[in-house]
Chain A
Amino acid sequence: MMKNSLSLQTISRIAVFIILLFSVYFLFAGHNNPGGGFIGGLMAASALVLLYLSFGTKKINKVIRINFPYLIATGLLIAMATGVISVIFGYPFLTQFYEYFHFPLLGKAGLATALLFDAGVFLVVIGVTILVILTIAEDDD
């Protein structure tokens, strides 16, 4: 059953990059504004789901060579390491540090170690969502 889905593929080639950029914006905006690692990961996962919908799993698995269970484990390790590092320096578990720095193009910006924890949550959410959807989708025969 070969149906021509040219318009869907053309639209999704452009829309995927917009959604991925939006997810990265959510990841970085999450400290003081609405956003954070969870919703950013959901947006990135929805961009990948759009790719899988329009091009099929065989072609996209050839392009995106990520082992999603390893991605979940990497995200959990990053999120746990940010907690353990504050234990090593003598603070309570998951203590976050906050400091202002000067960047060449951005000017003065605040950096928090909560961003690393959010990055770990981001990877875990992408891995779990894509793994669940692909496992359900490949179950039909």
Chain B
Amino acid sequence: MLETTLWIVLVMLSIAVLLCFIRVVKGPTMSDRILAIDLLGINMIGIIGLIMIIQDTLVYVDVLLVLGIIAFIGSIALSKFIERGIVVDRDNN
């Protein structure tokens, strides 16, 4: 029962990743692309968590943490780029 549910959720998350990728490619504005990239990272974290449950292991926990940190910093940098036009500014208030 649990196995079947896990595989169904895995397929649904894969479809969600595909939809995010379509939004990244043809997003009308820059904000749509940034939001889709952030959501793609979160979906990948979910997929790796499900794979960890399926394979009954704890090895991929480090992968989860690294993906979370990279997605956090990446979305901060991109949103700062569309807000100010510069990523690392020289003097901040």
**Residues on A facing B (Cβ under 8 Å):** 1-5, 8, 15, 19, 22, 26, 33-35, 39, 43, 46, 49-50, 52-59, 133-134, 137-138, 140
Contacts and interface: CB of A to CB of B under 8 A. Distances in A.
A54 B80 CA distance: 9
6 contacts: A34-B63, A35-B62, A49-B77, A53-B80, A54-B76, A57-B89
A56 B92 contact: yes
B12 interface: no
Interface string B63-93: 1011001101100110010011011111111
Contacts of A34: 59, 62-63
B92 to A, nearest CB: 3
B92 A5 contact: yes
Contact of A46 (B73, B80, B89): B73
Interface of B is mostly: helix
B69 A19 contact: yes
B88 A133 contact: yes
A39 B66 contact: yes
Nearest to B83: A3
Contacts of A53: 73, 76-77, 80, 87-88
Contacts of A26: 62
Nearest to A57: B90
A34 B84 CA distance: 38
A52 B88 CA distance: 6
A1 B84 contact: yes
Nearest to A25: B62
Given A34-B59, A43-B66, A56-B91, A140 B86 contact: yes
A3 B92 CA distance: 8
Given A1-B84, A46-B70, A137-B87, 11 more contacts: A2-B93, A3-B83, A33-B62, A39-B66, A43-B66, A43-B69, A56-B91, A57-B89, A59-B91, A138-B88, A140-B86
